[in-house]
Structure 1
Amino acid sequence: MTVSLLLPIGLSALAALLLPLLVHLARRSEQRLVVFAALRWLQAKAQPQRKHRFDEILLLVLRLLLLAALALLLAGPVLFGRPDRTARVLVAPGVDAAAVRDRIGADDARWHWAAPGFPVIDEDHTRAPDRPPADAPSFSSLLREMDATLPAGTPLTVLVPPVLVGADAERPRLSRRVEWRIVSADGRAAIEPPVPSTTAIPTLMVRHAPERADSLRYLRAAGAAWLVAREDKAAANPVAPVTIAPASTPLDPDQPHLVWLVPGPLPNAVREWIAAGGEALLDADTVAPELAEAAVVWRGPDSPLARAARLGRGRIMQLQHELRPAAMPVLLEPDFPIQLQRLFTEPPPAPTRVEAAAHAPRMGLAAYPETPRPLAPWLAVLVALLFLLERWVANGPRRRPAA
C-alpha cells in the first residue's frame, strides 16, 4: 500500500512549524525584582550568558504534531492499497441465475445482476430484480460501468440470453477480456408488448404490383388495428389508415407515407416524390442504389427487417424480406401493427435487440486508474484529538509552573 497526495502544494503549510519553536525560544519566565538592604552596596557584575533551551517539551511536541497534521490534511492524502480482484459474474436480464449458477460452478466469484446498483446475487436473492424504469441505463451502458468500476485485472464473466435486449448500436469496447457466455433463456420474464400510440397513427398510401396481392392482407390488418386504436374511432366516417391501389395509380402529393410493393427499378416519379419530403417503404425486390449502405432501422430476432437512408428532404426505406410469414414471421406477431406504425412515425432508434453472439465485447480501452481511498476523514479525527490533547496539556494541572 502506498500513500499519495492529491495537492502536494499543501505541504508548504509545514513552514508554520517555525512558529511554536520561536514562541518557546522567546518565552521568558516571569521575574520579580526583590531588594535586599545588605546587598545594595555590592557592585553588579555581568551575569554569565544563559544557553537557549526549550521549555515544556511535551507541549512543544504536541503543537508541532498538530501543525504537521494540518499541513498533511491540506495536501489531500489518499491511499492506494491492494485492490479486491475477486472474480465477478454479471447476469443479464432474461437469465435464470438459480439454474445457471449450479452449471457454471463459479462459487468463489461474486454474482451481480445487470441492473442499476448491481444488486448482489446470493443464495437468498436469486430472483431477477424488478423491471427497471423506462429511463434506466441500457445493458451495454451497465456493462461499461462495471468495467470502469472493477480494478484492472479482475476477471469478469457475463451471462446473457441468446437474444440480448438493451444493446447499443455497436459492440461495446472494454478495458479487459470478458468471458462472454450465452446460456439458455429458461425463466426469462415475458416481454410486455408496447402500448400502441393513439396520436401518431400514419396514413399509408400503398401501391402494389399484381404479384404482391397476397401481401396486402397484412397491411390491411395493420390499418384495422390502427383504426381501433385511433382517437376518432367513434366518428361517423373515420379516415381509412391504409389506402391501396395498383402501381399505375398516381401518387397523392398530400400523403406523406408510401408503401411501394413493386419489384424492379424505382421509378423516377417515386424518387422525386420522396425527395420532396415523403417517406417510402419499398419492396424487398425494388432496386434502389441509395440504400446500398443504409442503416438498419427495424431488426427482428434473427435478422434485419428494414433499412433506411435520407433522400433529399425525405426518407427512403426498404424491406429486407417479402411480406409473407415464411420470410417475415413478425407479420403474425400481435405487435406487428405497432412496429410498422413506429417505422413511419418515430425517428429511427438505435438497435436494442441483437443476437448475443454478435454483441460480444471487444478489448481496446486503456485500463481505468485505481480509485484511491481518501485519508482525510481519519486525518481530521487525528487533528481533533491532537488539538484536545494540546489544550489539556497547556491548561491542565500537570503544566510546570513558571519560576
Structure 2
Amino acid sequence: MNYTPTRGWFHHWLDFDLDEVRADLDSVAALGLDHVRVFPLWPLFQPNRTLIRPRAVEQLVALADAAAERGLDVAVDGLQGHLSSFDFLPAWTRTWHRRGLFTDPDVTAGQEEYLRTLAGALSGRPNFLGMTVGNEVNQFSDDPHPDPDRITAAQAGRWLERMLAACEEGAPGRFHLHAEYDAVWYRDGHPFTPAQAARLGAATAVHSWVFNGTAQRHGPTGTATEQHAAYLIELSKAWAEDPHRPVWLQEVGAPAPLVPPEGAAEFTEATLAAALDCPGLWGVTWWCSHDVSRELADFPELEYGLGLLTAGRRLKPAGAAVARIAGALRGREHRPPVRSTALALDAGSPRSACAPGGPFFEAWAVLAARGVRPAAVREEDAGDPARLAARGITEVLRVHDVLA
C-alpha cells in the first residue's frame, strides 16, 4: 500500500505520533501485505536549502523501524512534491526565491543532498527497499500545472540522472528509481520521456489512474478500464532496452464516482488480475492505505475514499479483495506466461496515439477484449528477431490490422 496516515494525512509529520503510525501499520500488516511506500513532505524535512532537519529524518527512520517490526518493507519517495492535488515545495524555491526546480545549480545541489541524506539514514535498515526520486515530479515541468518550470527533454534526463546518483551514493545497491504520472506516456511534447522512464533507475514505475479519460470513454467495467494498469505495464516495455527490466505498478486506485464505490472491489480484483498477468511485474502498491479524513478540507472529492481501509482503520470491500489476492499469492512463485502477440506502435507516432482515445490505445483494448494478451513494441523493434525472441514474441500486429 501507499501509506496515508489516518491522523492528519501527510501533515502528520508536523505532529508525529509513533503510536498512531504503529496502529496504522498494524492495520496494513493485518491484510497480509509486504511493503509500504511512504512520503516525507519536502518542505518540512528541508525548510531551508542548507537545513535538513535531523529530527524529521529520525522520525522517518522510526517509521521504517515500526514497519520492520510488522514484517513490512519500506520504499521512500523523496521530493514531495505533489500529493493528491496539493503541491509541497519549500519556500526557497518559490516566489521571492523562485528558481528552476530542475536546472538551478543551488536548487539541484540542495535536492541531491536531501535525497542522499534520506537514503543514507535508511541504508542500514534491512527492510529499506530504496528511494523514489519523488512523486510525479514531472507535473512541475509542463501544462496543465498552473506555474510550471519548463525544461527540455535533455534537461529532464540530466536532472533524473543526478538525482538517482544521489540516492545511490546515500544507499548503494538499493532499489532506486523515479516515477512520473502518465503524461510521460501520453502527452505530446512532455519533457519527461518514455525512454527515460523505461531506462533510468532500477525499474520502470507506472501510475495507473482511469480518471484520465479511460473510464469516461469505456465505463467502469470496460476492458480498457479494468486493464489500464496492465496496458501501462506492457506499454512501458516498448521503450525498455533490457527485455527483463522490472516494472513496478507503483500507484493504482479505484477513483469514485468513475468507479462507483459499490464496484470498487470488482474493479480492484479485475485490475490486479490483469496486472498479475504481465511478465516482469516487480510489485503492486495500491493507492492507498486509509481514506482521507473528512475533517480535512479542499481535497478533490475522489481523494477522500481511495483507501482500502477507512480513516477509522476499518476494512473496506476493496481492501478485502486485495487481502484475498495477497493471501493466494503468498509463499508461491508467480510467473505468468510470456505475451507472444505484440501490437506495434507505428514509427513516428505521437505519444497521444497511446493515450485513451488514441489509435494504439484503442487497438490494444480491442485485442484485450478479444482475449488476446497483447504486448507492445515500437515499429523500429518489430523487425528485430533477437529483440522479439528475448521477450517471447512470435506475432506482431499493426493498429490497422485491428481497427480496420
TM-score by length of 1: 0.23
More strand by share: 1
Q: Which has the higher contact order (CA 8 A, sep 6+)?
A: 1
TM-score by length of 2: 0.23
More helix by share: 2
